[in-house]
Amino acid sequence: MSDMKTKKSTNLWTLMIIISFLVVVASGYMLYLRLDAHFFSGPHEIRPEPVQIDDDAEAGDEEENVAQDNPEKPPAQNPAPAKPANQLEKEKTQKAVKAMPVPPQRPMALKAAKTVFTYKNAKAKSVKIAGSFTKWKEIKMDKKGIKWETQMWILPGNYVFHYVVDGKKILDPGKPRAEIGESIVTVISKE
């Protein structure tokens, strides 16, 4: 009988360990997703799609509605000369086309701009660059004489970055600094 109690107790503890392990794994994965979205994803931009408003079509519609709402109102004192039927049909067609809803236009796709980063230090053995545009991965720079250089294609916007010179974080002396202790680079599209 004591063997049966021991076996039930062992099974219960084994089940509790498995459940605890699954809870820890699920919590860790959710924490990873939040940190990844916050620290490692690129910049997010919100661009509302423009809506085209045609003032002429709205004004024409209001005049027609006023005439329909007040049938007792006498016509204007200076009536316009009678127009041929073809002319009236053209005007009706033009008003109908203007009144049609305009489908939203796709915003123009942003084009990446070629951006050159240069760091002067003749004594450095290795220089890398890391920033929000690289998702903080360190990218090796090439030595050209006394300066280190790399070229990247980056979408227009403001980004933070720093150099890693022989394993130490160094800010770019020629760029403004962000409050978080990084250098700021502004990328502008050439078009």
pLDDT of 14 reads: 92
Measure the CA angle with vertex 10, ends 5 and 13; round to 5°.
Answer: 125
Parent domain of 170: 113-187
- Tokens encoding 80: 């316009």
Least trusted range by pLDDT, from 31-35, 55-59, 167-171? 55-59
Cβ neighbours for 130, distance < 8 A, ≥ 6 positions apart:
136, 137, 138, 139, 161, 162, 163, 164
Residues 160 and 125 occupy one common structural domain: yes
Residue with the larger pLDDT of the pair 143 and 76? 143
Residues 1 and 57 occupy one common structural domain:
no
In a domain, 157, yes or no: yes
Domain count for the chain: 3
Is there a single domain that holds both residue 94 and residue 120? no
Using only C-alpha atoms, what is the Rg of the chain?
34
Give the pLDDT band (50/70/90) at residue 110.
confident
| Residue 140 forms part of a structural domain | yes
121 lies in the same domain as 183: yes
Together in a domain, 136 and 182: yes
pLDDT score for 86: 63
Condensed to tens digits (0 to 9), the pLDDT of residues 80-91 reads 556 566 666 667
- Residues 6-37: tens digit of each pLDDT: 777 888 899 999 999 999 999 998 888 777 76
What local confidence, expressed as pLDDT, does residue 74 receive?
Answer: 53
Strand order in the sheet with 142-144: 113-120, 147-154, 142-144
The pTM of this model reads 0.45
Residue 102 banded pLDDT, cuts 50, 70, 90:
low
Phi-psi region of 149 (alpha: psi -120 to 50; beta: other; left: phi over 0): beta
pLDDT band at 99 (very low <50, low <70, confident <90, very high): low
In a domain, 34, yes or no: yes
Q: Is residue 91 part of a domain?
A: yes
What type of residue is 166? D
Tell me if 106 is assigned to some domain.
no
